[in-house]
Amino acid sequence: MAGLEHYRLAKDPAIIKLGNMIQNRYRYFRWTKRTAFISFMYVIVVPGCVGYLGWKYDGQWDMRAKRRGDMLSDR
């Protein structure tokens, strides 16, 4: 093993480029129709649907102290 340094890893240029791209993502971001639509879906629509379902089904199921064979609904 004359002269080889086995404790060092060879740097892959593609991995370095990916790391730099992820680190500087904010510099290259642009608002397009696609990014605006995706942002709208994740910021407005998804929390709205989760909130609506939580409001609609609030209090219908009692999950505390349930055993095998007990009913989930309180109706």
The answer to whether position 8 is within a domain reads no
69 dihedral zone (left: phi>0; alpha: psi -120 to 50; beta): left
- Identify which of 74, 51, 50, 48 has the alpha carbon closest to the alpha carbon of residue 61: 74
> Which pTM value belongs to this model?
0.54
Question: Are 66 and 72 within 8 A, CB to CB?
Answer: yes
Residue 48 lies in a domain: yes
Give 24-65 pLDDT, tens digit per residue: 999 989 999 999 999 999 999 999 999 999 999 888 876 677
Flag whether 25 is in a domain.
Answer: no
Q: Give SS3 for 61.
A: strand
Tell me if 13 is assigned to some domain. no
Q: Is residue 43 part of a domain?
A: yes
Give the model's pLDDT for residue 7: 65
Show the domain range for 37: 32-59
Domain count, the chain: 1
User: Is residue 50 assigned to a domain?
Assistant: yes
Pairwise CA distance, residues 67 & 8, whole Å: 57
pLDDT of residue 67: 76
DSSP 8-class letter at 43? I
